[in-house]
Structure 1
């Protein structure tokens, strides 16, 4: 087995805590039906890949649900974003300082969520986090999203990496399964039961 040289981290529910059901729950409170159309999911996916702007997302939503105030929609949209525990920030900073691995962030996110991340964790802490990585890939900036194989191929090619020398950590099984098909080693982390800071204890067999 090849030695791990690069660790690729997801962001949400790996470093920053998420409340995944929150968006749907908060939209329902605003009177938006549970069965949000496939059209809205498509628009959200386009926004995640940076193919439409925040203004276009909001315009689309306002046209579909004119009785919901824009600020209420944004608040509901960002309700998924929770806190960023300091011990995880210190963990990745220590890992960066030790310089034993190339560190890459690979996150499906969007501009509104990143704004909320910065608000929740503060800009100085966000900069500390971002500066811990050799490369910092956000889906809306590279116009690709997980679990498409093309996003992993992009990261491998952009950094001249060998898949078998990479470890990818993500909380969604479909994302780690897609990466593993390319030969990338993976850890499908279970939020609430496992913590990324346990990497070298409970997952020492990967190294």
Structure 2
């Protein structure tokens, strides 16, 4: 029996356009990221470097790229928060049946944008028993350590836990340590369909 549900944030609740940042950077003359920049991105998601240092890496590396142009490109992935997803979560919370935990790979710039542009963010956040953002806890998916951290911190049994995420690599790590999973197909499935699609677990 499922007692705890771990939810991803982007493309589970918050709608993303995952190609937008790449497209914006291409328009600014940045066609491909090297291994150094990819490493910097991962470090930033873990909160190991500041937003200023992160932005500085890009503006120093790419001539003519301003702070504002980079931030606009970086945040262009973030779109909106459909109301029906919030209502689903609020109804689920009201039942009191499950412990609800958010587990998201994100970063300070994205969360600052969300707080400014998504009016329901605080209401959304209040629905969760725990709210884990990668840059605040210094772990990121798909590393095994982030799942072990959440399980230990909340005294969870993997067999009684369901993880919902749209990224296969994240799902595979969770599966490998015994957590039930739903690999949500963004654009084809909605989190509001949870209890019909995963009816075998409830």
Q: TM-score range by the shorter chain?
A: over 0.9
- The counterpart of 1:18, out of the listed 16, 20, 25, is 16
Shift of 1:65: 1.2
Q: 1:65 and 2:62 equivalent?
A: yes
- The counterpart of 1:178, out of the listed 173, 177, 200, is 173
Shift of 1:118: 2.0
Shift of 1:66: 3.0
Within a 5 Å distance, the mapping from 1:119-158 to structure 2 comes to 119-122=116-119, 125-158=120-153
Q: Deviations over 1:145-179 (max 9, x none)?
A: 00001000000000000111000000000101100
Aligned to 1:189: 184
Q: Deviations over 1:88-135 (max 9, x none)?
A: 01111111111100000000000001111222312xx11100000000
Within a 5 Å distance, the mapping from 1:1-207 to structure 2 comes to 3-32=1-30, 34-122=31-119, 125-207=120-202
CA distance in 2 between partners of 1:57 and 1:35 (Å): 17
CA distance in 2 between partners of 1:201 and 1:175 (Å): 22
Local SS of the residue matching 1:74: helix
TM-score by length of 2: 0.98
Shift of 1:79: 0.3
CA-based RMSD of the aligned residues comes to: 0.7
CA distance in 1 between partners of 2:193 and 2:118 (Å): 22
**Structure 1 residue runs of 4 or more that deviate by more than 2 Å after TM superposition:** none
Shift of 1:60: 1.0
Give the number of aligned pairs: 202
Instruction: Name structure 1 gaps, 5 residues minimum.
Output: none
Local SS of the residue matching 2:124: helix
CA distance in 2 between partners of 1:37 and 1:100 (Å): 46
Local SS of the residue matching 2:15: coil
Shift of 1:38: 1.0
Instruction: Name structure 2 gaps, 5 residues minimum.
Output: none
